[in-house]
Amino acid sequence: MMRIAINGMGRIGRLLFRRLIDNKDVELVAVNDLMQSDNLAYLLKYDSVYGTFAGNISHQPAGIEANGKLVKAFQQPDPALLPWKDLQVDVVLECSGSFSSRAGAEQHIKAGARKVLLSTTGSADIPLLVYGFNQHVLTPGETIISPGGCMTNCSTHILYILNAIGIKSVQCNILHSYTSRQELVDAPHKQFRRGRTAAESIIPVEIDLAHSLERLLPVLKDKIASVSTRVPVANGAMADFTIQLKEETTRQEINKLFATAAANEYKGIIEYTEDPLVSLDIKGNTHSCVIDGTLTSVVGNHVKIIAWFDNEYGFTTRMIDLLGIM
C-alpha cells in the first residue's frame, strides 16, 4: 500500500486528507503545516464549502485521528527535516505552494520520501502531466511531477479536441471563485487588484495559464491569451473560451464533438450537459470540465465554449488519479 504524506494543509491539502483517509489503495501517514494540530482537526471536521466531515475526527497528542486512523501531524517549516525516511513515505503531496521549484520539492526527497506530487504547475524543469492528456509519458524514474492546476486541467482537453479542426487563436477568461491569495478587506498586494476585498468585487487577476497551455500544446504557441476574473463565490469556476478556428463550423458540430468525447475516450475527464447549470451545481463534481452545450455559440469560424469545473474537487480527483499511476 502506498504511504502518503501531505505538506501544506490549505484548501487542497485538507480536501485531499478527507478523500484519502478512507482510500483503500493508500495509507495517509502524516501531514505537515505550520498551524497547530488542534486547529487543523477543527478545519478538517468543519468545512464551509463541503460541509461537516462524514465520520469521526479529533485532535490527539500525536496528530489527527480520523475514522479510527492516526495521522501524525508536524509543524516543521523546513521539509528537509521532516521524518519521511522513518515513516517510509512513498509520495509527498506538496500542497503548500512554497516548494514548487525542483530545488524546493527535492527537500522532501532529501528527507527520505521516494517521490513528490505537486498541487500546482511548478517550475519549467518539472514534468507537467495533465491526467487524461499526457499522463502516459510518466516514467518510473521521475521523482517529482506536476499535475498542472485546475484551470490547466479544464483547458487542455478542450483546446486539444478543437485543434482537430485547427485553432488560429484563443482568448480564455476563467471566472473563478475567490482564493486565499486574495484579501478579505482592502490591503496592500503586489498585484493591486488582488488586494481588494474579494467578496465585494469582480476582480481581474493575472495568471500563467497561457504559458502552461503552450508547454502542453506547443502547436498553439503565441496563439493563446488568458485572464482570470475572480467573482464573489467561495467555490466553482466557469471557463469562457473564445476561439477562432481555421474552418467554419456549426453549434451542432461543436456540441456533438464534445458530447462524443465525453461519452468515449474522455469519459470521467470531460462531462457534457445541456442542463441549465449555475456554479453551485458543480460543487463536488469530479470532472476536469463540464461542457455546457446550452451556451455554445458559433459565428462563422468564431466559437464560444463555456465549461464549468469545481476548482477544488475536480482538481483533487486528478491528483488522486495521478497517484494511481505513480
DSSP result, 222-286 = TSEEEEEEEES-SS-EEEEEEEEESS---HHHHHHHHHHHHHTTTBTTEEEE-S---GGGGTT--
The three-state secondary structure class of 217 is: coil
Q: Is 199 in the same domain as 75?
A: no
pLDDT confidence of residue 52: 98
Averaged pLDDT, 12-22:
97
In a domain, 248, yes or no: yes
Strands 51-52 and 46-47: antiparallel
Q: Which domain holds residue 85?
A: 2-119
Q: Is 36 in the same domain as 168?
A: no
Indicate the pTM of the whole model: 0.95
Averaged pLDDT, 179-185:
93
Report how many domains make up the chain. 2
Among candidate residues 151, 154, 117, the one with its CA nearest the CA of residue 133: 154
Catalytic residue among 150, 154, 172, 289: 150
Give catalytic status of residue 95 as yes or no. Answer: no
Give pLDDT tens digits for 109-133.
999 999 999 999 999 999 999 999 9
Q: Is 13 in the same domain as 99?
A: yes
Hey, how many other C-beta atoms are within 10 angstroms of the C-beta on 267?
12
Give pLDDT tens digits for 43-96.
999 999 999 999 999 999 999 999 999 999 999 999 999 999 999 999 999 999
In a domain, 23, yes or no: yes
pLDDT confidence of residue 243: 98
pLDDT confidence of residue 194: 94
All three cell numbers of 302, joined, read 468564431
Q: Is 31 in the same domain as 75?
A: yes
Last residue of a domain, one of 119, 138, 166: 119
d(C-alpha 322, C-alpha 118), whole Å: 11
pLDDT confidence of residue 303: 98
